[in-house]
């Protein structure tokens, strides 16, 4: 069953966040992920979505998504993100 990682961010340091993105993309690919949404223009229909950047990645399953997050490659990327953005991330099991 597919799983999705949804990341939402407000970027405070674009240069530092760019270093994160350069590393996080290949880490996603290595773990069988494909990007479904990668920061495109958003149109809010209801409520308040206070994030300027939203990313949705599809993984084969929850375990693979967790392996990606805990992988050395992603943890290295994450070091570049810390302090560069207000960041929220969740794994959601698909149907």
pLDDT confidence of residue 95:
87
Instruction: Let me know if domain 3-41+51-93 sits in CATH 1.10.3720.10.
Output: no
Burial 26-51 (b: 16+ CB within 10 A, else e): ebbeebebeeeeeeeeeeeeeeeeeb
pLDDT confidence of residue 9:
97
Note the pLDDT tens digit of each residue in 32-50: 999 999 988 999 999 999 9
**pTM higher than the cut 0.85:** yes
Domain layout of the chain by residue ranges:
3-41+51-93
């Amino acid at each position: 069953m597919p799983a999705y990682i949804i990341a939402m961010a407000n970027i405070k340091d674009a240069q530092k966040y760019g270093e994160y993105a350069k590393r996080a993309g290949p880490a996603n690919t290595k773990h069988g992920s494909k990007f479904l949404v990668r920061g495109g223009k958003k149109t809010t229909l209801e409520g308040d979505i206070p994030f300027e950047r939203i990313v949705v990645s599809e993984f084969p399953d929850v375990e693979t998504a967790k392996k990606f997050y805990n992988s050395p490659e992603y943890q290295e990327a994450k070091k570049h993100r810390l302090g560069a953005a207000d960041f929220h991330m969740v794994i959601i099991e698909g149907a």
